[in-house]
Each structure stands twice: as structure tokens, then as C-alpha cells.
């Protein structure tokens, strides 16, 4: 058969290419550009090779921030995913309470992130905040602006409050899509509620949970607004997560080279870990095909 | 023996199952025939104990089991959707009811193996349900239901989601699977042809009522009522109001034929199945004038929908008979094969069986 050569199709791809170039490739390449040069005022640049990367990877400050970031992300994942699944399991499947629950659950997700930070900032203040005041009244010596432990507690509580709903909504969507017949079949078999969860609900929720975990991982690893409004990274450096540290270096100290190198390392860490997460969680599916 | 004694199911203000009494003997194949929402699934759930009747009792083997939860009864069920445990192998799926019943490992292996052999899925035992075709998935589900030697096996439209060829195949195999068992089998279907193919006993359901129950062939030929005939006719049965006076029955002013001698004078609803209405004249047939709506011509059959007596009539005949939509046409009804229903809907005389009922 004769195939007519027609290269016009490339023009159809062009708009997407331009769009991607402007919102991803060009900014990224700018960062790459900064990361390999020494920057002085008046737009004077010197080639510096990979020295910034060496500095970043050897810097105890970066290690500490990365450590805090990992601690934060894995703590909230360990809380939000099981808690979200539990809440989803407890939610009604039919009746008027369904919409009530769904709206209540969606509420925290609708609040702008900086507002969430400001809300919790005030809510947790030891003297006037409802939470802070109540904790102190109960005899706890609670002050999140002074004690790192309290700052972490507040930070994690805030994130759990803000984002568990996302896991709940996704898990709930997975649950309601399971036909009644599955539950009946399990009942006929005499399966326990644990067996129903383990062999029906969990496998049927697996896909949405994979998405939930990935989303929560990426979002929490990139989190900036809420902790920055709540604690500003303090007290000291105790809640300075990667993104907060990055902003301090890039905009506070205006060290473009190290900041750019750190951004790229940060980006690669997120990419690598997302890939590992995804591969591990979908390994079973692959093996089945 | 499964006995339903006057069971009723009420959900809120709606009566889903009207008072129903049925007796199913062990070793019999019983069919619940009815359209979607006729109450087949609800009735099965009541039989299984998945639902509790609002009123009435369920007896099994001479014991009142009303309110006994399903896991304490020896019941299996197969659904229209292919229900298997998604992350278990086919072997583990089939074995699952036995494991709950604490059967020892060697026995499980033997029984699962034998069942897989019977279902022709022996080669798939290590796979997961998602790696099987629809037919194999349903075979797995059936193997799970059959492996545990239940007293009551409920099949809720198990072939509805399979493609045509597979459905035909499984229809042939199914009765053989239950042939030697001493259990009560109940099979729900929307298709009259499926019921006729399986034989056994059929309960015709309509809007939550059992309108007819008996040996399948018998209730096909002699439905108890117009509703029963409607449930058990596909394509739908044609009806016309008629009056018998003297030797003549006349319908809609346009149609008249010689009345059977055993029929009393009076008003009747005449029902005639689509395959007794044909495009060609036969001995004793009566011409019916109408306007063609659609002619569906498959390879060997013609299904012709036409307007007659202000209603929708259907003719089903062998061969290809082209008709133009919108055209006036005359079709021929074999009135010797029609049903006569009294004004209250009960059957007075069936033309498909010798004598009235």
C-alpha cells in the first residue's frame, strides 16, 4: 500500500510542545543553568561545574532538612492512610447521611492552604488559642512556638486534619463501587469481617489507595505554605522542611547556585521516591499480566 | 425440601414480595422467570436467608429456618456479576468455602481438583480471576458454589453477562452438573427460552407476585392467567378483546372467526403468541390488517412489529419476509392456537394444549 508522506501532523503537536516548553522545560533548564554557575551581581556568571551539587549533597544542613522532610512525610502517611480507610469504612453507604458526611469530609479540602496555616497558628496559641489554651488547662506544658516537640505535634495534627479527607474520599469511592453481591457471597461463605476487608475491600480499593498514597506523598513532600505560616520553620530549625529551607537559601540569602542545585536534588528525590512507591504498589498487577 | 410459607417482603411502604407460598423438592431444577425488578433476586435472598421475610416462614428439610442467618445454612449462590475474591488464585477461590468449613487439606485438594475438572478450568488453578475470560470467571464462581455440597443452590441470572456463544455452551452443561445432586436448585432468568430449555419447574414472577408455578412445559402451554402468559412469552404475546356469541367470535369489529365449541358466550381477552402470527395464510388462519412499524429480518427469521386493534402486535416466522415500514399489510393469525382469558385474566381455554384448564 502507498503511504502518503504528510508531515503536517507535527504542527498539531506544536501548541502542546510550546506550552510544555514554557511551563516546564524552560524553567527547569534555567534552574539547571544556575546550578552549574557561580553568580555575582550585574549578571556576571562563572562556570562552576558540579561543585554546588557536591556542596549540597555533603551539607549537613541539607541532610537535616531531608531527614525532617522524610520524618514528616512518613509520619503523616502512616497516620492518614489507615485513618482515612477506617473513616471510609465507617461511613454510611446509603441514606441522607451520605451527603452530610461527604460535605463534612470535603470541607477541609476547600480551605486555602495559607488560611489553614493561619487558622492553626491562632487555634494552637497557648494563651488565646482554643487548642493551646485547652491543652495547658489540662496540665500539659504546651507551646508550639517554643518547644520543637509541640511544633511537630501541631504540624502533624494540622496536616492530618487538612488531608485525611482526601484519603477518605478516594477510599470511599473505591468502597461504594464494590457490588453488594461480593458482600453477600462472603456472607454465604461465612467469611469474618476481617476476611471481607482483607480479601474483598482492600483488593478492590487498591487502585484508588495507590493514587491516594502517591498524591499524599508528593503533596506532603512538597509542602510549604502551611508549615511556613504555622511555624515559619521554627522554633530554631526544628520544623524547617526541605521547601522552607530552599526558600531561605534562594530568596533569603539569594544563593542562586546552591539553591538551584538543591532544587534539582529535591526534584530528583521526589521523582525517584514516587517511582519506587508506584512500582512497589503496582508490582502485583504487573506480575498478573 | 424448601418450603416458602406465605412469605412477604416489605421495604418501607413498598411491598417487594406479595405473600408467596412455594414448595421446591430436592433434586429438582426450579426456574424463577420474570423481567428485571419482578422480584426474582429478592425472592432468592429470602430463600437463602440473606434477607428476612417481613411475614411468613421459610422451611428447609422440615425445619423452620426463618431468621437463621445464611452462614448457618448450607446454601450457595452464583450471581450475574462474576463474583470471586480478586487477589486469591482460582484454586484458593474454589477452596474458600471448604476452608471456612474446616475441611482438611488433602480433601480440599481432591475436591477442588475434581470440581475444576468438571468446570474445565484445571489449567487455570494458579491464575487470578482477573487473568481469566468472563466465561472462566463465571465457571470459577460456579465451582465455588458447587464444591461445598450445599442443600440449596441459587443461580441468579448466571449467564446474563456472558456472550451468546458461551451462554449456549453453558446452557447445555448446566443441567448435567446438577443431574446427580440431591439439592434444590433455583435458577433465575429473564428469558422464557432459557426456562424452556432447562425444563424442570418454573415459577413465573410479575411485580413481586408468583403468577404461575408448575412444570415448565405445562405452564408454557397452559399459563394460569394472562399475566402468566405475558411473563412466559418472548416476543410479547399479542392480545385483543373479543366477544363470543353463538358460533362466532368477533374482535375489534374487523375480525371474526368460528368459536371453539367448548367456549361459553361472553367477553374474552384473546392472546396469541407471535409465532402463531405469520405473513402467509395457513389453514384456519384469520387475516389481521395492520400498519407495519418495523420488520427485523435475521438470517432465518422475520420479526414484524405492526399496529393492529390499536395495539402493538408482533409476528415471528421462519424465512425472510421483507415488509416496508409504514405500509398497510395483512398478516395471518392461527386462531386455533390462541388462548382465551376471562375478563378477570384467568385462563379459560388454551389452544396450545388439548382441552381447557
Residues B294 and B218 in one domain: no
Whose CA is closest to B50, among A183, A176, A197, A196?
A183
Q: Is the residue at B356 inside a domain? A: no
Structural domains for chain A: 26-58+255-289 (no CATH), 71-251 (1.10.3720.10)
Whose CA is closest to B224, among B214, B233, B234?
B214
Place of cell 508528593: A218
Distance of alpha carbon B8 from alpha carbon B27, whole angstroms: 26
Give me the phi and psi of B182, to 5 degrees please: -105, 35
Instruction: State ipTM.
Output: 0.75
A274: pLDDT strictly greater than 50: yes
Q: Where does the pLDDT of residue B94 fall: very low under 50, low under 70, confident under 90, or very high at 90 and above?
A: very high
Domain that holds residue B138: 2-225
Place of cell 418472548: B234
The 10 Å Cβ neighbour count of residue B46 is: 24
Q: Where does the pLDDT of residue A285 fall: very low under 50, low under 70, confident under 90, or very high at 90 and above?
A: low
Across the interface, of A181, A187, A189, the residue whose CB is closest to B81 is A181
**Contact: B130, A288; criterion CB under 8 Å:** yes
Q: Where does the pLDDT of residue A287 fall: very low under 50, low under 70, confident under 90, or very high at 90 and above?
A: very low
**Contact: A191, B128; criterion CB under 8 Å:** no
Beta-bridged to residue B243, according to DSSP, are: B250, B267
Q: Where does the pLDDT of residue B357 fall: very low under 50, low under 70, confident under 90, or very high at 90 and above?
A: very low
Whose CA is closest to B268, among B357, B350, B348, B351?
B348
The nearest alpha carbon in chain B to A191 belongs to B100
Distance of alpha carbon A171 from alpha carbon B57, whole angstroms: 40
Q: Residues A58-72: pLDDT tens digits?
A: 888 888 888 999 999
Distance of alpha carbon A224 from alpha carbon A113, whole angstroms: 9
Q: What angle do CA B151, B152, B156 make, to 5 degrees?
A: 160
Average per-residue pLDDT in chain B? Answer: 87
The mean pLDDT value for A246-253 works out to: 80
Q: What do you get for the CA distance between the two ends of chain B, in Å? A: 28
Do A19 and A8 contact (CB within 8 A), yes or no? no
* Surface-to-core class of residue A60, CB atoms within 10 Å of its CB (0-12 exposed, 13-18 middle, 19+ buried): exposed
B190, B225, B260 — which closes off a domain? Answer: B225
B354: pLDDT strictly greater than 60: no
The mean pLDDT value for A83-92 works out to: 93
Q: Where does the pLDDT of residue B74 fall: very low under 50, low under 70, confident under 90, or very high at 90 and above?
A: confident
The nearest alpha carbon in chain B to A182 belongs to B83
pLDDT at position B237 is 92
Q: Residues A110-152: pLDDT tens digits?
A: 999 889 988 998 888 888 888 888 888 888 888 888 888 888 9
Residues B98 and B179 in one domain: yes
**Contact: A288, B131; criterion CB under 8 Å:** yes
The mean pLDDT value for B241-254 works out to: 84
The nearest alpha carbon in chain A to B89 belongs to A288
Residues B177 and B263 in one domain: no
Q: Classify B194 as helix, strand or coil.
A: helix
Do B101 and B64 contact (CB within 8 A), yes or no? no
Across the interface, of A181, A184, A199, the residue whose CB is closest to B87 is A199
Q: Residues B187-234: pLDDT tens digits?
A: 999 999 999 988 889 999 999 889 999 999 999 999 999 999 999 998
* Chain B residue numbers touching A185 (CB-CB < 8 A): 77, 79, 83
Residues B197 and B270 in one domain: no
Residues whose CB falls within 8 Å of the CB of residue A77, separated by 6 or more in sequence, listed in order: A213, A216, A217, A220
**Contact: A200, B79; criterion CB under 8 Å:** no
Distance of alpha carbon A86 from alpha carbon A201, whole angstroms: 12
Kindly list the distances between the CA atom of residue A43 and the CA atoms of A27, A32, A39, in Å, as whole numbers in the listed order: 18, 16, 7
Residues B319 and B346 in one domain: yes
Q: Is the residue at B176 inside a domain? A: yes
The CATH number of whichever domain residue B259 belongs to comes to 2.40.50.140
Q: What do you get for the CA distance between the two ends of chain A, in Å? A: 35
Distance of alpha carbon A219 from alpha carbon B71, whole angstroms: 45
* Surface-to-core class of residue B197, CB atoms within 10 Å of its CB (0-12 exposed, 13-18 middle, 19+ buried): middle
Q: Classify B288 as helix, strand or coil.
A: strand
Chain B 69-128, residues with CB within 8 Å of chain A CB atoms: 69-71, 75-77, 79-81, 83, 85-88, 96-97, 100-101, 128
The mean pLDDT value for B104-114 works out to: 90
Distance of alpha carbon B351 from alpha carbon B285, whole angstroms: 13
pLDDT at position A284 is 66
Distance of alpha carbon B67 from alpha carbon B65, whole angstroms: 6
B197, B225, B253 — which closes off a domain? Answer: B225
The nearest alpha carbon in chain B to A183 belongs to B83
Do B116 and B125 contact (CB within 8 A), yes or no? yes
Give me the phi and psi of B6, to 5 degrees please: 55, 35
* Chain B residue numbers touching A204 (CB-CB < 8 A): 86
Instruction: Report the Cα A262 to chain-centroid distance in Å.
Output: 19
Size of interface A-B (CB pairs under 8 A): 51
CA distance A283 to chain B (A): 13
Distance of alpha carbon B206 from alpha carbon B228, whole angstroms: 8
B173, B197, B225 — which closes off a domain? Answer: B225
Across the interface, of A181, A187, A203, the residue whose CB is closest to B71 is A187
pLDDT at position B98 is 86
**Contact: B128, A288; criterion CB under 8 Å:** yes
The mean pLDDT value for A248-257 works out to: 78
Residues B251 and B119 in one domain: no
Distance of alpha carbon B22 from alpha carbon B58, whole angstroms: 10
Q: Is the residue at B211 inside a domain? A: yes
**Contact: A189, B128; criterion CB under 8 Å:** no
The mean pLDDT value for B273-283 works out to: 88
Residues B206 and B251 in one domain: no
Residues B51 and B149 in one domain: yes
Residues B218 and B309 in one domain: no
User: Residues in chain A, how many?
Assistant: 289
**Contact: B77, A199; criterion CB under 8 Å:** no
The 10 Å Cβ neighbour count of residue A282 is: 13
Q: Is the residue at B186 inside a domain? A: yes
Across the interface, of A188, A288, A289, the residue whose CB is closest to B70 is A188
Q: Is the residue at B231 inside a domain? A: no
User: How many structural domains does chain B have?
Assistant: 2
Which three cell numbers mark A227? 508549615
Distance of alpha carbon B287 from alpha carbon B335, whole angstroms: 10
Q: Is the residue at B76 inside a domain? A: yes
Across the interface, of B81, B87, B97, the residue whose CB is closest to A203 is B87
A286: pLDDT strictly greater than 70: no
Q: Is the residue at B165 inside a domain? A: yes
Average per-residue pLDDT in chain A? Answer: 86
**Helix B90-100 and helix A180-189: axis angle, to 10°?**
50
Residues B181 and B257 in one domain: no
Distance of alpha carbon B16 from alpha carbon B215, whole angstroms: 25
Which three cell numbers mark A104? 463534612
Distance of alpha carbon B34 from alpha carbon A169, whole angstroms: 38
* Chain A residue numbers touching B128 (CB-CB < 8 A): 288
The CATH number of whichever domain residue B116 belongs to comes to 3.40.50.300
Place of cell 382469558: B341
Which three cell numbers mark B313? 402486535
A288: pLDDT strictly greater than 50: no
Amino acid at each position: 500500500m502507498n503511504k502518503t508522506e504528510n508531515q503536517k501532523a507535527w504542527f498539531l503537536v506544536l501548541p502542546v510542545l510550546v506550552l510544555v516548553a514554557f511551563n516546564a522545560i524552560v524553567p527547569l533548564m534555567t534552574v539547571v543553568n544556575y546550578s552549574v554557575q557561580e553568580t555575582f551581581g550585574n549578571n556576571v556568571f562563572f562556570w562552576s561545574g558540579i561543585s554546588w551539587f557536591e556542596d549540597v549533597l555533603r551539607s549537613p544542613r541539607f541532610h537535616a532538612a531531608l531527614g525532617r522532610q522524610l520524618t514528616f512525610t512518613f509520619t503523616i502517611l502512616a497516620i492518614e492512610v489507615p485513618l482515612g480507610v477506617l473513616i471510609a469504612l465507617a461511613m454510611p453507604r446509603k441514606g441522607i447521611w451520605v451527603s452530610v458526611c461527604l460535605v463534612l469530609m470535603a470541607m477541609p479540602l476547600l480551605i486555602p492552604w495559607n488560611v489553614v496555616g493561619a487558622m492553626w497558628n491562632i487555634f494552637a496559641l497557648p494563651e488565646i488559642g482554643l487548642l493551646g489554651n485547652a491543652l495547658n488547662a489540662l496540665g500539659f506544658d504546651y507551646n508550639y512556638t517554643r518547644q520543637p516537640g509541640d511544633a511537630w505535634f501541631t504540624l502533624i495534627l494540622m496536616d492530618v486534619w487538612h488531608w485525611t479527607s482526601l484519603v477518605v474520599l478516594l477510599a470511599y469511592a473505591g468502597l461504594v463501587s464494590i457490588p453488594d453481591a461480593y458482600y453477600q457471597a462472603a456472607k454465604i461463605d461465612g467469611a469474618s469481617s476481617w476476611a471481607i476487608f482483607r480479601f474483598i475491600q482492600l483488593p478492590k480499593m487498591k487502585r484508588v489507595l495507590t493514587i491516594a498514597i502517591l498524591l499524599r506523598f508528593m503533596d506532603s513532600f512538597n509542602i510549604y505554605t502551611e508549615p511556613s505560616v504555622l511555624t515559619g520553620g521554627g522554633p530554631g530549625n526544628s520544623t524547617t522542611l526541605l521547601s522552607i529551607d530552599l526558600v531561605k537559601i534562594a530568596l533569603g540569602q539569594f544563593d542562586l547556585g546552591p539553591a538551584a542545585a538543591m532544587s534539582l536534588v529535591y526534584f530528583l528525590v521526589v521523582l525517584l521516591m514516587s517511582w519506587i512507591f508506584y512500582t512497589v504498589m503496582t508490582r502485583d498487577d504487573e506480575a498478573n499480566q | 425440601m424448601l418450603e416458602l410459607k406465605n412469605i412477604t417482603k416489605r421495604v418501607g411502604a413498598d411491598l417487594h414480595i406479595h405473600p408467596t407460598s412455594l414448595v421446591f423438592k430436592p433434586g429438582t431444577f426450579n426456574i424463577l422467570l420474570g423481567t428485571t425488578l419482578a422480584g426474582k433476586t429478592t425472592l432468592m435472598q429470602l430463600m437463602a436467608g440473606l434477607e428476612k421475610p417481613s411475614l411468613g416462614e421459610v422451611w428447609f428439610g422440615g425445619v423452620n429456618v426463618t431468621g437463621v442467618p445464611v452462614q448457618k445454612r448450607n446454601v450457595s449462590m452464583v450471581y450475574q456479576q462474576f463474583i470471586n475474591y480478586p487477589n486469591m488464585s482460582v484454586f484458593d477461590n474454589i477452596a474458600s468455602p471448604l476452608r471456612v468449613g474446616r475441611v482438611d487439606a488433602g480433601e480440599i485438594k481432591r475436591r477442588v481438583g475434581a470440581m475444576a475438572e468438571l468446570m474445565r478450568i484445571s489449567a487455570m488453578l494458579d491464575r487470578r480471576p482477573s487473568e481469566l475470560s468472563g466465561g472462566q470467571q463465571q465457571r470459577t464462581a460456579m465451582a465455588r458454589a458447587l464444591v461445598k455440597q450445599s442443600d440449596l443452590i441459587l443461580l441468579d441470572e448466571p449467564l446474563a453477562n456472558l456472550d451468546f456463544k458461551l451462554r449456549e455452551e453453558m446452557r447445555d452443561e448446566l443441567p448435567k452438573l446438577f443431574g446427580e445432586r440431591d439439592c434444590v436448585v433455583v435458577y433465575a432468568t429473564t428469558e422464557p427460552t432459557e426456562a424452556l430449555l432447562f425444563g424442570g419447574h418454573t415459577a413465573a414472577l410479575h411485580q413481586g407476585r408468583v403468577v404461575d408455578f408448575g412444570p415448565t412445559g405445562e405452564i408454557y402451554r397452559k399459563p394460569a392467567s394472562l399475566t402468566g402468559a405475558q411473563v412466559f412469552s418472548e416476543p410479547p404475546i399479542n392480545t385483543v378483546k373479543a366477544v363470543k356469541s353463538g358460533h362466532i367470535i368477533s374482535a375489534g369489529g374487523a375480525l371474526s372467526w368460528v368459536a371453539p365449541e367448548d367456549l361459553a358466550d361472553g367477553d374474552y381477552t384473546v392472546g396469541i403468541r407471535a409465532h402463531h402470527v405469520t405473513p402467509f395464510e395457513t389453514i384456519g388462519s384469520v387475516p389481521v390488517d395492520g400498519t407495519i412499524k418495523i420488520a427485523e429480518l435475521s438470517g432465518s427469521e422475520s420479526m414484524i412489529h405492526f399496529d393492529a386493534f390499536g395495539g402493538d402486535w408482533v409476528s415471528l416466522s421462519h424465512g425472510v419476509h421483507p415488509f416496508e415500514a409504514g405500509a398497510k399489510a395483512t398478516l395471518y393469525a392461527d386462531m386455533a392456537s390462541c388462548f382465551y382469558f376471562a375478563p378477570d385474566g384467568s385462563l379459560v381455554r388454551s389452544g396450545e394444549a388439548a382441552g381447557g384448564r
